[in-house]
């Protein structure tokens, strides 16, 4: 069982004089869908309301065979709203509610949702926005003795505007993670004036023996780069006609985790093997993830590939 914890929300695009167009979104939710499409049993732990938008979220998850053990709650489903003027310029508004049941140590009623997982992924708004961020951290700590942990900060400066807070939160999760993925834009915002690759190298050392085994840096059309104890690896981005880049990073993350699971590198008992990864294996892993991202950018929206598409 794989577990993804994080936000699900509705992205609304509001055009002048037109009815808003809603789309199901949220980086962690997209990763859960991506993992399910790649053939993995995965559960998504995140909140949404008992309302029409919540029904959209639940329907999207279930139609993609993602397990949803947490029921909707009485609060409205979170919304990220982009209001476009006649020139196409966007003004963003957010109505976000991020909280979770206590999944941390001592709460037996909730711990069953993370107790059997062999890989736990989290990131983005969920790890930075109170009060839910501390609940997510507690869940990571609870799962860590049994599961490989993965993390993607997927920074949202328009929502989490305090870069010092974001940096502090990111470093807490990096220090507990085995696999970390960040974009060059994420690291440039978190560490202004520092080469993103240098920041990634420093992240590899966070947490000491309990810190990351692999840190991956996505660089758009420049292709991904990664670092592990054995050294560094990179690969070219596959050539593709871009429709849009929505969900590309989430598809990359899902495929990255998928190929690690396929190699039986999930579960805390495999940490030593994950840390012993060679640079040639690392290159294969990020190349696989890059192919998934390329398929996603070739079509509109956050639409990650299936295993059949990726292996075609």
What is the structure's pLDDT at 86? 67
Q: Phi and psi (nearest 5°) for 122?
A: -150, 175
From edge to edge, which strands make up the β-sheet containing 90-95?
Answer: 21-25, 9-14, 79-84, 90-95
Q: Kindly report, residue by residue over 261-297, the tens digit of the pLDDT.
A: 999 999 999 999 999 999 999 999 999 999 999 999 9
Mean per-residue pLDDT for 101-107? 65
Q: Say if domain 2-310 classifies as CATH 2.30.42.10.
A: no
Please provide the average confidence, as pLDDT, over all residues in the chain: 92
What is the structure's pLDDT at 182? 98
Q: Kindly report, residue by residue over 53-68, the tens digit of the pLDDT.
A: 999 999 999 999 999 9
Can you tell me the distance from the alpha carbon of 104 to that of 91, in angstroms, rounded to the nearest whole number?
37
Q: Provide the pLDDT confidence category of residue 105 given band limits of 50, 70 and 90.
A: low
The 3 state secondary structure assigned to 4-56 is: EECCCEEEEEECCCCCCEEEEECHHHHHHHHHHHCCCCEEEECCCECCHHHHH
Instruction: Indicate if the pLDDT at residue 111 is higher than 70.
Output: no
Query: 250 CB contacts (<8 Å, ≥6 apart)?
Result: 27, 30, 31, 34, 152, 154, 302, 304
Question: For residue 187, what is the enclosing H or E element?
Answer: helix 184-190
- What are the residue boundaries of the structural domains of the chain, listed by start? 2-310
Mean per-residue pLDDT for 212-237? 97
What is the structure's pLDDT at 266? 97
Helices (H) and strands (E) in the chain, counts: 11, 12
Q: Kindly report, residue by residue over 132-167, the tens digit of the pLDDT.
A: 999 999 999 999 999 999 999 999 998 999 999 999
Report residue 215 as tokens.
């840190």
Q: Kindly report, residue by residue over 81-90, the tens digit of the pLDDT.
A: 877 766 666 6
């Amino acid at each position: 069982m794989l577990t993804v914890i994080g936000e699900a929300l509705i992205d609304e695009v509001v055009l002048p004089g037109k009815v808003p167009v809603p789309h199901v979104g949220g980086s962690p939710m997209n990763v859960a869908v991506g993992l399910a499409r790649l053939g993995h049993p995965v559960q998504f732990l995140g909140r949404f309301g008992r309302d029409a938008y919540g029904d959209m979220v639940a329907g999207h998850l279930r139609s993609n065979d993602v397990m949803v053990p947490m029921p909707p709650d009485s609060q409205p489903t979170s919304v990220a709203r982009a209001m476009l003027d006649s020139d196409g310029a966007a003004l963003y508004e957010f109505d976000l509610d991020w909280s979770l049941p206590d999944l941390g140590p001592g709460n037996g009623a909730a711990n069953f949702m993370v107790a059997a997982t062999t890989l736990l992924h989290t990131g983005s708004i969920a790890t930075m926005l109170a009060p839910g961020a501390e609940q997510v951290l507690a869940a990571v700590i609870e799962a860590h003795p049994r599961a490989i942990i993965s993390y993607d900060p997927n920074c949202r400066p328009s929502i989490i505007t305090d870069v010092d807070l974001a940096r502090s939160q990111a470093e807490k999760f990096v220090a507990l993670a085995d696999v970390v993925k960040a974009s060059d834009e994420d690291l440039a915002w978190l560490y202004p004036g520092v080469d993103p690759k240098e920041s990634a190298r420093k992240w590899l050392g966070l947490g000491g023996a309990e810190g990351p085994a692999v840190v991956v840096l996505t660089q758009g059309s420049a292709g991904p780069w990664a670092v592990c104890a054995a050294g560094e690896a990179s690969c070219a981005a596959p050539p593709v006609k871009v429709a849009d880049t929505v969900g590309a990073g989430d598809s990359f993350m899902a495929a990255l985790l998928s190929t690690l699971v396929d190699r039986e590198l999930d579960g805390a008992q495999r940490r030593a093997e994950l840390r012993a990864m060679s640079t040639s294996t690392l290159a294969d892993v990020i190349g696989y993830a890059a192919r998934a991202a390329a398929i996603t950018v070739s079509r509109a929206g956050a639409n990650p590939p299936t295993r059949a598409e990726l292996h075609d």
